[in-house]
Amino acid sequence: MLKPETMFEKVWAAHQVVPETADTPAIIFIDLHLTHEVTSPQAYSVLRERGLKLRRPDLTIATMDHATPTRTSQVFGGAPITIDSAANQIRQLEKNCAEFGVELLGLQDARRGIVHIIGPELGITQPGKTIVCGDSHTSTHGAFGALAFGIGTTEVGHVMATQCLLQNKAKTLAIEVKGKLNIGVTPKDLILAIIGQLGVSGGTGYVIEYRGEAIRAMTMEQRMTICNMSIEAGARAGMIAPDDTTFTYLRGRPRAPKGANWDAAVKYWRTLPTDSGAIFDKTIEIDATSLVPMITYGTNPGMVVPINGNIPDHSGDPVFDAAMQYMGLTPGQAIKNTLINVVFIGSCTNGRLSDLRAAANVLKGHQVAKGVTLLVVPGSQEVKREAETEGLDQIFIAAGADWRESGCSMCLGMNGDTVAKGQYSVSTSNRNFEGRQGVGARTLLASPETAAASAIRGCVTDPREFF
Amino acid sequence: MKPIKIFTSRTVVMASTNIDTDQIIPGRFLTTTTKEGLGKQLFSDWRYNASGELNADFILNQPGSQGCRILVAGHNLGCGSSREHAPWALLDYGFLAVISTQIADIFRNNSLKNGLLPIVVDIKTHQWLIANPGAEIEVDLCSSSLKLPTGISVQFPIDSFPRYCLLNGVDELGFLLSKNPAISKFEEQSNIPLHNT
Ligand code: SF4
């Protein structure tokens, strides 16, 4: 019998163009290259300077998400894009895609959205593929059993020119999630708890495979939330074995295989999960049953506490002290009831339809607290349309929220949607770094349910109070 | 890319752990379409105050830091966003090397590809470097070692391929392009359902 292999090892082996040698890393073939306006312009410049073409435009797709405006008037005409350099970047991407023959889901395209949301929606994110993008949250696509990771702009150029990357093989880390999540505890809470346990550098050098009962029970959208934040633990990628949940999600998507190709694909996809007896370099166990809703209190995603807990006291640790000073919070204080100014529901972590449904479910029949701004930004135009079909937009608007076109928006504050200095924001995104949502902005990361409950009360609130 | 072999410089120390790439260069500066000029925005939120003037307390603004080419940072430097603007900004500002006990994967990769040397050292060496800001360090890529003013020499790990590229000013794209025949063969022979549009 062949040596049992992990899913990562299988996908890796299937894409090795040239194996690693003592002097050179392996050359790995890339099945899907996702691109966007922010990390591609300099790569196109390199191609131009060297007189190169895209090797496989058919395996490349472009969208606009990071710097794009989310106000309808700016997206669909009427008002100009307020940030000149962002408008320039968008025009540059249009020009580059036209010149190099790349399919572009442009500003007004009905399929546009955050790059990590539209890949799965279109059905181009598939098990067993190698997927890269000049964006660290490419790890999201690993939820399908793909090997998906973020790269820098130089590597974006490498993939454009050769459809390959030079890569050293990562180590493997299994995260076994035992038991089921309790009611009111979401995948976002689970991944925050995992990062809290592993630390923000604990996954460095690894590809994580999430396993266990709680993971198997999740929908694809929930699995994407988990894999999305793998990078926040320092990991290169996160993966989840494909199963019937995966195939049901993909079946009938615009670019999923059809007919006999579909059958062949599913047959192949079923060979991908880790063989029993395969050895991971490291294994960690998490008990899902003990988890409660989680929220961050500091300036990295590992600084996280249960929502009904207290901020720890690590006074004297310079990182902790700096975080407390930046956040304006006191060691030992309860995180609950901390007054907030802004709530952001969206991003590639929690900007999908089920996230909006969860938030709307809490908000229904309530009003956003006085003085609090609630911004709801769907992850894609498709999510927006579906939400509007279900009437979720009406629930948000009735509650006093601002309902927008899709994009990254306040997740990284590149498009002008920012949190003011010193203000507190409960955000469903993935990074609470200093200044991430705006200069001096104070971000608390949480689930859509927690974000919605906090918007109603105007302070950090346990969403289970609304169930 | 200019070859890197050996250079000597004083260090600047920023001892915080987990300095992420959002700090190295905040997101709002990423609307640029070139690599040039990003040094102005390096560590922008720490380096400038609200009115845009230099913050005198920040280490890079202090007289002793001027001309330093080596940044010594706390554990887990460069975590977070994959933005290559981070090494571009460090290089444009004038840094040639960064030293830590751990450097995040993507940032390390991006640095190597631009000629910014990411150096990982053991805890003892790191502690010495943190305790001795401004120390004059020799970085020798030929022998993959640092020489401290104490005379002690410390080896640092670097994979042979990026080391070869940096020593010779070779860019990796040229190497990948030379593998065209192997890539074509892979495309013809692979039986994975590659793309299904
Ligand atoms: S939503 Fe945020 S994390 Fe996701 S791709 Fe956009 S900027 Fe990055």
| Run means of pLDDT, 10 residues per run, chain B, 197 residues | 92 97 96 95 96 95 97 97 97 98 97 96 98 98 97 96 94 94 93 53
Residues A162 and A210 in one domain: no
Q: Sheet holding A424-427: strands in order across? A: A402-403, A373-376, A342-345, A424-427, A442-445
Domain locations in chain B? 6-170
- Residue B76 and residue A201: Cβ atoms within 8 Å? yes
* Residues A302, A283 share a domain: no
What sign does the dihedral B45-A372-A353-A305 (CA atoms) show?
Answer: positive
Q: Check residue A78 and give its pLDDT.
A: 79
**Residue-by-residue DSSP string for A272-309:** -SPPTT---SEEEEEEGGG---EEE-SSSTT-EEETTS
The set of residues, in sequence order, having a beta carbon less than 8 Å from that of A31 and lying 6+ positions away, is: A15, A59, A129, A130, A131, B192, B194, B195
| Ligand 1 atom closest to the CA of B81, numbered from 1 | 8
Domain that holds residue A443: 295-466
Mean pLDDT calculated for residue range A34-61: 96
Q: State the nearest Cα–Cα gap between B96 and chain A, in angstroms.
A: 18
pLDDT band, very low/low/confident/very high, at A351 (cuts 50, 70, 90): very high
Q: B151 CA to chain A: closest CA distance, Å?
A: 30
pLDDT tens digit sequence for B34-46: 999 999 999 999 9
C-alpha A294 to ligand 1 mean position (Å): 21
CATH superfamily assigned to domain B6-170: Aconitase, domain 4 (3.20.19.10)
**Interface-testing mutation among A154, A417, A430, with chain B (most B C-beta atoms within 10 A):** A154
| pLDDT mean over A413-432 | 96
Query: What does the pLDDT read at residue A1?
Result: 62
Token duo for residue B118 = 């990411």
- The CA–CA distances, whole Å, from A376 to A72, A117, A135, A353, B166 equal 13, 16, 22, 12, 46
Kindly indicate the confidence band of residue A77, based on its pLDDT and cuts at 50, 70 and 90.
confident
| Residue A138 within any structural domain of the chain | yes
Bridge pairing between strands A103-105 and A130-133: unpaired
Does residue A123 share a domain with residue A139? yes
The rounded percent of chain A whose pLDDT value lies above 70 is 100
Q: Is residue A257 part of a domain?
A: no
pLDDT value at A146 more than 60: yes
Look at residue A213 and tell me if it is in a domain. yes
Which tokens is B66 given? Answer: 């001027």
How many CB pairs (< 8 A) connect A and B?
197
Mean pLDDT confidence for A316-331: 96
**What per-residue confidence (pLDDT) applies to A352?**
98
Phi, psi of B83 (to 5 degrees): -50, 120
Predicted confidence at residue B197, as pLDDT, reads: 42
Return the minimum-mean-pLDDT range out of A68-82, A356-370, B101-115: A68-82
Q: Identify the CATH number of the domain in which residue A223 sits.
A: 3.40.1060.10
**Whose structure tokens read 């399908």?**
A144
> Cα-Cα-Cα-Cα dihedral of B138, B140, B143, B144, to 10°?
90
Residues A26 and A147 in one domain: yes
The complex scores an ipTM of: 0.94
Distance from CA of B29 to the nearest CA of A (A): 8
Residues B46-74 pLDDT 10s: 999 989 999 999 999 999 999 999 999 99
One domain, residues A390 and A304:
yes
Q: Is residue A433 part of a domain?
A: yes
Residue type, A310: N
pLDDT tens, position by position, A182-192: 999 999 999 99
Distance, in Å, from the CA atom of A34 to the CA atom of B6, rounded to the nearest integer, reads: 38
Same domain, A404 and A299: yes
CA gyration radius, chain A:
21
Letter string b/e over residues A443-453, b meaning 16 or more CB atoms within 10 A of that residue's CB: bbbbbbbbbbb
CATH code: domain of residue A318:
3.30.499.10
Give percent of chain A above pLDDT 90: 98
Which amino acids bring their CB within 6 angstroms of ligand 1? A 65-66, 114, 116, 135, 137, 347-348, 408, 411-412, 429-430
- Count the domains in chain A: 3
Domain-located, residue A329: yes
Q: B180 and A162 in contact by Cβ < 8 A?
A: yes
In this predicted structure, what is the pLDDT of residue A82?
87
pTM: 0.97
Residue B161 has its nearest CB partner, among A25, A42, A256, at A25
**Angle (CA) B80 A453 A423, round 5°:** 55
* Same-domain status, A183 and A50: no
Q: What amino acid occupies position A197?
A: Q
Picking from A132, A167, A202, the residue at the C-terminal end of a domain is A167
Pairing of strands B6-14, B136-140: antiparallel
Selected for mutation to probe chain A from B23, B28, B34, B179 (highest A CB count within 10 Å) is B28
